[in-house]
Structure 1
Amino acid sequence: MRHWFRSYWTEEDTWFYFEVDTDGWVTRQVDLQGPFEQPIAAASLAERQAAQAAGTLADSEKEFGATAELPVQDWDGHEPHDLTIEEFETAWLAARIACQAGARNRATDGA
């Protein structure tokens, strides 16, 4: 069963939203940075795997970012705050639109 939560990283002023599968792997991830919660990632594990197989991983990561590479049970020091699927989907859709529009690249390039 999937579950959804978010966690805040003070050092980067970033909220991380996660969709996690039964085994603890992040299947989708949204990163929102700064006081205006600028989308800097809206990544999907399935898309990452497909892009890796197709040899287009760098392009995919440039547009959408990446998901965490360890299962959540291996993480230290994060304080998860549960989310509903609706809360996650709202963040996911807004971040995907921003990433597809190129807002992610401008935010991470400092422009």
Structure 2
Amino acid sequence: MLKYTEDHEWIQLDGDTATVGITTHAQDALGDVVFVDLPAVGSTFAQKDVAGVVESVKAAADVFMPISGEVTEVNEALRDNPSLANSDPLGAGWFFKVKLSDKSQLDALLDESAYAQFAKDA
């Protein structure tokens, strides 16, 4: 199940763990990504907490936690090659994985069609 936030993060659920990244719309708006600050493995965040930062040639933007939980893994390849956030934002450009603490929070996130409409109007 793929869900989206109004802050332009995506979350892909796999059991009790989810992978998080920024959307195609976000990377388009940012331009060429040159640096990512990823959270530490083992860090716990509440929904909407700032969990990282992405910097581009144009701007810096916070990466918000789409759902409460504990970071279980970060994408070291993204740290070494931040341009993956541009070239493959929904694949190799993922940011981190999180063990969910409250799956019901997923209900408040946008599905693909709702996000597409939101991003078009943004």
**So what's the TM-score if we normalise by structure 1?**
0.35
More helix by share: 1
Query: Normalization by structure 2: what TM-score?
Result: 0.33
User: Is the strand fraction higher in 1 or 2?
Assistant: 2
